[in-house]
Structure 1
Amino acid sequence: MSFIRTFHGDIKPDNLGFTYSHEHIMCRPDYWVQRGEDDLLLDDKEKSRRDVEDFVSHGGKTIVDATAIDYGRDVQAVKEIADETGVQIIGTAGFNKSFLWNARIKEELKPIIGEFTTYAEWIEATSINELAEFVIKEVEEGLEGTPFKAGQVKFGTGYNRITPLEEKTLRAVARAHLETKAPLHSHTEAGTMGLEQLELLRSENIDLSYLSLGHMDRNPDPYYHEQLARTGAYLSFDGIGKIKYAPESTRIACILKLVEKGFENQILISGDTARKTYYKHYDYGLGLEYIIAKWVPRFIDDANRQGYDGEGLIHKFFVENPANCFTFKQ
């Protein structure tokens, strides 16, 4: 039996609908709290809810909340937003990247993961298999002791490097995937180290067609994208709207180059909207409505002008591909 796991329970893949594949709805990362980076704190449930409502009002149905335990997630608040807006939420178990692990562990988590002070201390002191058991529990029982189960498992690596602790969490998450069949997601800092991640996953006997690689548009290199796509993995272009990194024409060119090469079934699209200044109702940003309301029509027009079926590709990227990618295949 195949299913997708959401905060409202398991659903059939056909019921997923229009999906953002990588977002952050509520998070208060201690790493950024310590540094006074208020822009990186999504800490007002009402403002987050209003942006989610905008997404739903344009026909959006599902959001993958990619916030792992070490990024200050608020599981209960996200569940309440899902209840109040009708959006389907896919939650995330696992870990992010090592530079965040100096963050202090929330007191509420001490009964769950022990009396460690920081995430780095916990990860260093705990075996790979014990970390895997923790991730498995979040998939099978619930995130942070709640009844809301994770629908994917995540690991991350830094810019142009993989630290020993990042390799440790990668292997733990890979083993949790093998046990639960939960979809795998990776954070690649600025789109780097994807091929190196795949080598480590292969050593854990992972079928790479279960994996989605995040932040591919931060490294707009068509040759690199093709090498990754040839492994069967999904490529997530999740920086839509972030013109400071690249214009939309660059992202669309990379996406269409993959389509030209026959990889249209492995492309996911989202915004990784994780700052107050990206949100409309926090600080007048483009908001969660931007992709579905403005980027999608632009992509359709651009793709059609280049001889592609723009509407058909949008259905693939936001409906068909997420329905395949985020499925537990038993």
Structure 2
Amino acid sequence: MSRIRTLTGDIDPDQLGFTYSHEHLVCRPPYWLEKGEDDLILDDPEKTKSDLLEFREGGGQSIVDATAVDYGRDVPAVVRLAKETGLHILGTAGFNKSFLWTAPLKEDLKPLIGDYSTYGEWIEKSTVEDLTDFVVREVEEGMEGTPYRAGQVKFGTGYNRMTPLEVKTIRAVARAHHVTRAPIHSHTEAGTMALEQLEILRQENVDPGHVSFGHMDRNPDSYYHEQIARTGAFLCFDGIAKIKYGPESTRIHCILELVEKGYEDQILISGDTARKSYYKYYDHGLGLGYIINRWVPRFIDEADRRGLDGDRLIKKFFVKNPSRCFSFKN
């Protein structure tokens, strides 16, 4: 029987409800701390909570927190947010991408994995099997020594390139998926390297239908999107509201192109709200309420104008597809 693993316990897929598929709620990324990039430090759970309540008031029910171990998770703080808001929040095991791994390793991780100076040193000196075991423990026992278990496993690669250490983490995450049956999420920098990632997953005998690829709207190439969709994978359009990367019309066009080609069952939507300036209650940004309250009505209107049923598609993207994507497959 399928199940979805939230930070506060496993639920049936039909309990997930309206879901954002890729967000960041509380995080202190060591790399950005070292660089002094305060905008990328989400360190006030009460401000995050205010945004979450606005999302809930708009009808939101669930959020996938895609913050991996190398991006400065605060697992207990996010668990408190889940309990205080009543939202289902999914945690993430696994890794992000190479350039983040030059940062110092969190001291409280060292008793769990060994006395390494940086994330890169840890990944380089560990075997694939060691890394697999770490990811499996985070799904089956709890993240960073807590009792709160991850609901997905993650890997990532850089812009138009893939380093040997990133390949190593892809293999470790793939093998952890086989042990745990947890869904897989991929970080693709600017929407690149998804097909190359899929080739490594194929070598590891992973069914692409268990994988979601993030940042697809950063590479608004409908032909490329179709090549990914043809494998059965999910495509996550998680840059909603980020006009600096392109207008909403471009994102909506790419989504509707996939719908018209028959891939509506593989589309996920979110905002990847990972900066203070994106949050309403940190720094006057559009916030977590924007998609559900403002983007959804626009999408429905544009879909209807093309002769598609916008309301039905919204239910697909935010309810039905997440309930399948984030289920543990028995």
- Equivalent residue for 2:74? 74
Partner-residue secondary structure (3-state), 2:313:
helix
1:248 corresponds to 2:262: no
**Cα distance in 1 between the residues matched to 2:45 and 2:264:** 36
- Equivalent residue for 1:200? 200
Q: Which amino acid aligns with 2:259?
A: V
TM-score, normalised by the number of residues in structure 1: 1.00
TM-score, normalised by the number of residues in structure 2: 1.00
**Cα distance in 2 between the residues matched to 1:246 and 1:172:** 34
**Cα distance in 2 between the residues matched to 1:258 and 1:129:** 37
Displacement, 1:143?
0.7
Task: Tell me how many residue pairs correspond in the alignment.
Answer: 330
- Counterparts of 1:137-216 in structure 2, within 5 Å, are 137-216=137-216
**Cα distance in 1 between the residues matched to 2:312 and 2:80:** 33
1:219 corresponds to 2:219: yes
Displacement, 1:329?
1.2
**Cα distance in 1 between the residues matched to 2:84 and 2:267:** 30
Partner-residue secondary structure (3-state), 1:2:
coil
- Equivalent residue for 2:121? 121
RMSD between aligned alpha carbons?
Answer: 0.5
Displacement, 1:113?
1.2
Displacement, 1:55?
0.6
**Cα distance in 2 between the residues matched to 1:120 and 1:12:** 37
**Cα distance in 2 between the residues matched to 1:292 and 1:50:** 15
Displacement, 1:103?
1.3
Displacement, 1:8?
1.2
- Equivalent residue for 1:96? 96
Partner-residue secondary structure (3-state), 2:50:
helix
**Cα distance in 2 between the residues matched to 1:93 and 1:233:** 19
Displacement, 1:3?
0.2
- 1:76-95 Cα offsets, whole Å, 9 max, x none, are 00000111111110100000
**Cα distance in 2 between the residues matched to 1:216 and 1:48:** 25
Which runs of 4 or more aligned residues in structure 1 lie more than 4 Å from their structure 2 counterparts after TM superposition? none
- 1:28-83 Cα offsets, whole Å, 9 max, x none, are 00100111100000001111111111111111000000000000010000000111
- Equivalent residue for 2:299? 299
**Cα distance in 2 between the residues matched to 1:210 and 1:105:** 30
Displacement, 1:285?
0.1
- Equivalent residue for 1:235? 235
**Cα distance in 2 between the residues matched to 1:18 and 1:314:** 9
Displacement, 1:164?
0.2
Partner-residue secondary structure (3-state), 2:36:
coil
**Cα distance in 2 between the residues matched to 1:51 and 1:90:** 17
**Cα distance in 2 between the residues matched to 1:67 and 1:309:** 33
Displacement, 1:179?
0.6
- Equivalent residue for 1:43? 43
Q: Which amino acid aligns with 1:302?
A: E
- Equivalent residue for 2:108? 108
Displacement, 1:15?
0.3
**Cα distance in 1 between the residues matched to 2:311 and 2:103:** 43
Partner-residue secondary structure (3-state), 2:108:
helix
Displacement, 1:106?
1.2
Q: Which amino acid aligns with 1:209?
A: G
Gaps of 5+ in 2: none
- Equivalent residue for 1:5? 5
Q: Which amino acid aligns with 2:241?
A: G
- Equivalent residue for 1:16? 16
Q: Which amino acid aligns with 1:66?
A: A
Displacement, 1:217?
0.1
- Equivalent residue for 1:260? 260
Displacement, 1:235?
0.2
